[in-house]
């Protein structure tokens, strides 16, 4: 397997909105920039498909990237760093070594899956995942979908699926009505554009039942999901469906910050005003520093790109805009905080780690994540904990104190090359 090495002033891992913005502005300051993206094309989960409906701002940034001097490596997963200035990345033809003076981590988020009886049945999916499947051609027309969990992603996914022919039976939002009303009111001054966006999405969902203070407790079916039991804490009822699309929360991808020993608190990478982490020369931008959405990701990416490109004065001009987006993020975190009931949904025999078939009952016997991993192999299967680690942390209150290369699943040849 061929190895190649290239040296850059700045390397950016992740080509979502924050990574694209960081790479563009660093390159525009005259730096040699590499942008690594593990999927087929830049954009992250929201801007990936140029053929689909993406906002004008996405086209602007994707054009800016195309017309820049940034070396974009798609289908390239950064998986290890022998030292802070050298990355190893796997691409279809082999392993690349990327030397860099400055590194920007823009690795974004993934969906949090919460285990409940029946959650491993076929057609129980992440809400973002079902949206992504539909974007790539999966037939959803006429299918009855229950969308459940929490946060704006529920409405975004439901609206997309409905526009593509799905019959949204019901949206079950676990947050209570009062919290949502307060958040909606706060949007009028924190982020009026988000309010307008939300009103548009609600219009798409006219006639769909939106139930607040309501969550799934079990999915049922023989070969795939046929119905879901929902609860509002007082009563339970069962709803027939062809798909159950769940989105409880987005959680930052912390594998890279963990590997480099960047300071992480409350599940977020800690950064200074220039988005520099506790490790000198390593910056972090976007949702990995706290879930705040694509507007915040763009601003933070620009700040990190200017700072890594040696233009901190340009970065400082964006501080006020970042403060506004952070206030929005704090409001969102408060409004959609997960209720305790969701931590108690798994039964003894509910599978929590679906790669290794490890049940809640077996995991709950342990006091630490390390002990549970060593004794049960939970989080150690092919997905390397990407699916269950978030729920292990939330359900049992454990912290993940180990990040080792490869940070993402990698071919054996890449490790030995
Ligand atoms: C499934 C899903 C659906 C979403 N849908 C919506 C929506 O409909 N509306 C909305 O407003 N927001 C949505 N979001 C949230 C939105 O994507 C983020 O708030 C925003 O895009 C954050 O941007 P970012 O640049 O921080 O990270 P992201 O956009 O998450 O981009 C991170 C990128 O890094 C790449 N990456 C990660 N690790 C590596 C690695 N080791 N090597 C190479 N590349 C790597 C990933 O492939 C990804 O492309 C969704 C998020 C998810 C996970």
Find residue 10's DSSP bridge partners: 33, 102
Average pLDDT, the chain: 93
Q: pLDDT at residue 382 above 90?
A: no
Local confidence band at 408 (pLDDT 50, 70, 90 cut-offs): confident
DSSP 19-59: HHHHHHHHHHTT--EEEE-SSSSSSHHHH--TTS---HHHH
Q: Tell me, using a 6 A CB cutoff, whether residue 36 lines ligand 1.
A: yes
**Predicted confidence (pLDDT) per residue in 265-304, tens digit:** 988 999 999 999 999 999 999 999 999 999 999 999 999 9
Nearest atom of ligand 1 to the alpha carbon of 291: 19
**Predicted confidence (pLDDT) per residue in 351-369, tens digit:** 999 999 999 999 999 999 9
Find residue 294's DSSP bridge partners: none
Lowest mean pLDDT across 13-22, 190-199, 385-394: 190-199
Q: Which two tokens stand for residue 139?
A: 């037939």
* Contact indicator for 282, 262 with CB cutoff of 8 Å: yes
Q: Within 13 Å of residue 380, how many CA atoms lie on the same side as its CB? A: 12
Local confidence band at 403 (pLDDT 50, 70, 90 cut-offs): confident
How far away, in angstroms, is 288 Cα from ligand 1 center? 10
Residue among 289, 247, 293, 226 nearest 132 (CA)? 247
Q: Domain-by-domain residue ranges, the chain?
A: 2-109+251-332, 115-247, 340-416
> CA 239 to CA 227: how far, in whole Å?
5
Helix (H/G/I), strand (E/B), else coil: 80: strand
Question: Which DSSP helix (H) or strand (E) runs through 97?
Answer: strand 94-105
Q: How far is CA 416 from the centre of its chain?
A: 30
> CA 24 to CA 10: how far, in whole Å?
11
**Predicted confidence (pLDDT) per residue in 99-149, tens digit:** 999 999 999 998 999 999 999 999 999 999 999 899 888 999 999 999 999
Find residue 98's DSSP bridge partners: 6, 87
Q: pLDDT at residue 51 above 70?
A: no
Local confidence band at 391 (pLDDT 50, 70, 90 cut-offs): very high
At which residue do the structure tokens 């070594």 appear?
97
Name the pTM for this structure: 0.92
* Strand-strand pairing, 167-173 and 144-149: parallel
At which residue do the structure tokens 């958040």 appear?
183
Local confidence band at 50 (pLDDT 50, 70, 90 cut-offs): low
Q: What is the CATH topology of the domain spanning 115-247?
A: FAD/NAD(P)-binding domain (3.50.50)
> CA 1 to CA 93: how far, in whole Å?
7
For ligand 1, atom 27, the nearest C-alpha belongs to: 108
Q: Tell me, using a 6 A CB cutoff, whether residue 44 lines ligand 1.
A: yes
CATH number of 2-109+251-332: 3.50.50.60
At which residue do the structure tokens 């195309």 appear?
66
Q: pLDDT at residue 1 above 70?
A: no
**Predicted confidence (pLDDT) per residue in 239-253, tens digit:** 999 999 999 999 999
At which residue do the structure tokens 């390593």 appear?
282
**Do 2-109+251-332 and 115-247 come out as alike in CATH topology?**
yes
Share of the chain above pLDDT 90, in %: 80
Q: Tell me, using a 6 A CB cutoff, whether residue 38 lines ligand 1.
A: yes
Q: How far is CA 92 from CA 1, 180, 417, in A?
A: 10, 45, 14
Helix (H/G/I), strand (E/B), else coil: 276: strand
Q: Tell me, using a 6 A CB cutoff, whether residue 100 lines ligand 1.
A: no
Per the model's pLDDT, the better-predicted residue between 405 and 307 turns out to be: 307
Residue 108 sits at φ, ψ, to 5 deg, of: 65, -145
Q: Tell me, using a 6 A CB cutoff, whether residue 290 lines ligand 1.
A: no
Instruction: State which of 11, 12, 13, 14 you would mutate to test the pocket of ligand 1, scoring each by most atoms of that ligand within 8 A of its C-beta.
Output: 14
pLDDT at site 404: 84
pLDDT at site 168: 97
* Contact indicator for 285, 296 with CB cutoff of 8 Å: no
Task: Find the Cα–Cα–Cα–Cα dihedral 359, 362, 367, 373, rounded to 10°.
Answer: -70
> CA 376 to CA 390: how far, in whole Å?
17
Quick one: average pLDDT of 231-236? 97
pLDDT at site 52: 63
Lowest mean pLDDT across 131-140, 187-196, 259-268: 187-196
Per the model's pLDDT, the better-predicted residue between 193 and 20 turns out to be: 20
> CA 321 to CA 332: how far, in whole Å?
17
Q: pLDDT at residue 90 above 50?
A: yes
Strands annotated E in 314-390? 351-353, 358-359
Residue among 132, 123, 75, 141 nearest 245 (CA)? 123
């Amino acid at each position: 397997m061929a190895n190649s090495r290239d040296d850059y002033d700045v390397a950016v891992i992740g080509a979502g909105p924050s990574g694209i913005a960081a790479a563009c502005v660093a390159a525009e300051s005259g730096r040699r920039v590499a942008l690594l993206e593990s999927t087929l094309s830049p954009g992250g989960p929201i801007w990936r498909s140029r053929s689909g409906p993406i906002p004008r701002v996405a086209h602007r940034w994707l054009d800016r990237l195309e017309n820049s001097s940034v070396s974009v490596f798609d289908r390239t997963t950064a998986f290890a760093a022998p030292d802070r200035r050298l990355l190893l990345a796997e691409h279809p033809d082999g392993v690349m070594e990327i030397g860099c003076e400055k590194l920007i981590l823009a690795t974004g988020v993934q969906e949090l899956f919460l285990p409940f009886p029946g959650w491993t049945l076929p057609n129980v999916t992440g809400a973002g995942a079902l949206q992504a499947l539909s974007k790539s051609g999966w037939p959803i027309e006429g299918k009855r979908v229950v969308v459940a969990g929490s946060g704006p992603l529920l409405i975004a996914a439901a609206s997309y699926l409905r526009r593509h022919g799905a019959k949204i039976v019901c949206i079950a939002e676990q947050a209570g009505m009062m919290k949502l009303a307060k958040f909606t009111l706060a949007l009028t001054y924190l982020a009026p554009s988000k309010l307008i966006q939300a009103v548009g999405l609600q219009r798409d969902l006219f006639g769909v039942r939106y139930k607040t203070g309501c969550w799934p407790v079990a999915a049922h079916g023989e070969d795939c999901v046929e119905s879901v039991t929902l609860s509002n804490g007082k009563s339970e009822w069962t709803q027939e469906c062809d798909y159950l699309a769940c989105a409880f929360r987005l959680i930052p991808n912390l594998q890279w910050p963990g590997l480099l020993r960047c300071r992480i608190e409350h599940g977020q990478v800690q950064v200074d005003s220039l988005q520099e982490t506790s490790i000198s020369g390593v910056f972090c931008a976007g949702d990995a520093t706290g879930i705040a959405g694509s507007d915040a990701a763009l601003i933070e990416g620009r700040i990190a790109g200017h700072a890594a490109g040696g233009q901190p004065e340009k970065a400082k001009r964006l501080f006020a805009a970042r403060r506004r987006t952070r206030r929005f993020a704090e409001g969102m975190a408060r409004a959609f905080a997960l209720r305790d009931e969701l931590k108690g949904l798994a039964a003894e025999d509910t599978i929590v780690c679906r790669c290794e078939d490890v049940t809640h009952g077996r995991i709950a016997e342990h006091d630490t994540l390390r002990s549970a991993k060593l004794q049960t192999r939970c989080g150690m299967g092919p997905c390397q904990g990407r699916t269950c680690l978030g729920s292990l942390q939330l359900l049992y209150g454990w912290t993940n104190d180990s990040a080792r290369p490869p940070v993402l699943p990698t071919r054996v040849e890449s490790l030995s090359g």
